[in-house]
A and B are shown apart, each in its own frame.
Chain A
Amino acid sequence: GGSAVIDMENMDDTSGSSFEDMGEMHQRMKEEEEEDEAEGEAGAGEEEDGEFLGMKGLRGQLGRQVADQMWQVGKRQASRAFSLYANIDILRPYFDVEPVQVRARLLESMIPVKMINFPQKIAGELYGPLMLVFTLVAILLHGMKTSDTIIREGTLMGTAIGTCFGYWLGVSSFMYFLAYLCNAQITMVQMLSLLGYGLFGHCITLFVTYNIHFHSLFYIFWLVVGGLSTLRMVAVLVSRTVGHTQRLILCGTLAALHMLFLLYLHFAYHKVVEGILDTLEGPNMPPFQRVARDIPVVSNAVLNTTAKAIALTV
């Protein structure tokens, strides 16, 4: 390509160019030599002419060298930029954990701390939260499949991934922004980590209540398990914030978002099964409820086929 290369053939107008003068002088000298010399030395003259390659040759060689240099520089810059930005080693410190640490942090996420006057330590680790988000996606898929949720725009998988990752990343960013406004001492990675580990309570609750369909059971789990993980997150945040109003704003927002998300996950992806149970409770058919309590896995298939049969007859 000629765009990046200085096209020296177009510099004919610069009459002061020393290259051209040199070239012309050489050319004239060569011609004079050839005229002066006998035919016997014409071969040598031609050879020399061939080596010199004339004016075009010199420009061509220079152009080629410049092009070569620019290519080298461009390639070096591109590889440097690539190794800087596409380097996953940036994330490596956040994945430096042992399995015992992950287990300990999972259990700790359900235990609220008592000491809120001293800033609590938050581990800035991303492996646990990432795995919890994926687990939540898997549980959500299970819930959507068993409730035969019909997603019209988009796919089941896309909705599940979008919901879970959207919550984790979006609410973390929002809380980090609020924390910045309220002068809390927390970094983005710590916020991501805190919220991610808070999803452990959600995973447990949804795993249990997607298999055992009882309104009251869900509410108990929502309050107890959801409440414990919320209390832990709130306590850690409070320990890192100064001032009553700021503490109230931060913790109120986090508690509300966390608990409402669990409520949303349960009801948005479960309404078909709730509807079936309501219609079953109507004509007084308690045996189905007892089946749901005993063998959850098989009862889903039975419930679904029965529901389809009922829907067909209605």
Chain B
Amino acid sequence: FPGLADVSISQDIPVEGEITVPVGSHSPDEDYSTLDEPVKDTIMRDLKAVGKKFVHVMYPRKSSTLLRDWDLWGPLVLCVSLALMLQGGSADSKDDGGPQFAEVFVIIWFGAVVITLNSKLLGGTISFFQSLCVLGYCVMPLTVAMLVCRLVLLAGAGTVSFIIRLIVVGAMFGWSTLASTAFLADSQPPNRKALVVYPIFLFYFVISWMILTFTPQ
């Protein structure tokens, strides 16, 4: 490095400064206060965080809040409610009541893990649990679609109801895929977005298919 040969610090300028890293000095007090605060405050804070994330999924903007403070409460609630609603809906309800719940659970979590691993292997910058969090929260439109389908099926199971269900499920599937893509595709190198979007598309497609072909007894 030839250009650095003439760099020199003159002797009479004292080098001074602070070496201490400014850590939030009130953090011990914070820890103290979250330990001592009433349970209602803790629960309300967590519920507000979960609620804020739901709003983010409803209006997918490129914000980093969903990614920064990840939590898995929302995905768990959505997964369990979806699995409960999908129960008992095939030819032999006696045989398929149990496995139906486990099936949905396994599909959602196994699928989310595979997509996360895939995006990490393709060179993504997002962490494992952040990706799980985003994929889980973006199941929300499909849960809403399941609710709507169940209500429509209460009215009857003809061709008209099938077309309504098809439109609703299709719209929600598109919304889910777009919402999760808005969060996940940013963490990829720009020319490989399609490689990450395809498994997400397939994942939500399988869930949408399970919702669409659900026929109650």
Contacts and interface: CB of A to CB of B under 8 A. Distances in A.
Interface of A: 88, 91-92, 95, 97-99, 102, 127, 130-131, 134-135, 138, 141-142, 145-146, 148, 150, 152, 154-158, 297-298, 301-302, 305
A142 B91 CA distance: 16
Contacts of A98: 191-192, 195
Interface string B99-137: 110110011000000100110111100000000000000
Contact of A134 (B159, B202, B209): B202
Given A157-B103, A157-B106, 19 more contacts: A88-B117, A88-B121, A95-B121, A95-B122, A99-B191, A99-B192, A102-B195, A127-B121, A127-B122, A130-B118, A141-B206, A145-B209, A145-B213, A148-B90, A155-B96, A155-B102, A158-B103, A302-B159, A305-B157
Contacts of A127: 118, 121-122, 195
B12 interface: no
Contacts, number: 65
Given A98-B192, A131-B199, A298-B159, A141 B209 contact: yes
Given A99-B192, A302-B159, A88 B209 contact: no
A131 B102 contact: no
Contacts of B118: 95, 127, 130
Interface in B25-41: none
Nearest to A130: B118
B16 interface: no
A146 B206 CA distance: 14
Contacts of B18: none
Contacts of A91: 121
A158 B99 CA distance: 10
Interface of B: 90-92, 95-96, 99-100, 102-103, 106-107, 114, 117-118, 120-123, 157, 159, 162-163, 166, 191-192, 194-195, 198-199, 202, 205-206, 209, 213
B202 A135 contact: yes
A99 B122 CA distance: 11
Contacts of A135: 202
B103 A131 contact: no
A148 B213 CA distance: 10
The 7 A-B residue pairs with the shortest CB-CB distance in the complex, in nearest-first order: A95-B121, A155-B99, A99-B194, A145-B213, A155-B103, A157-B103, A138-B206
B198 A131 contact: yes
Contacts of B90: 148
Contacts of A305: 157
A158 B98 CA distance: 14
Contacts of B121: 88, 91-92, 95, 127
A152 B213 contact: no
Nearest to B193: A99
A127 B118 CA distance: 8
A142 B103 contact: no
A150 B118 CA distance: 32
A138 B202 contact: yes
Contacts of A97: 195
A152 B95 contact: yes
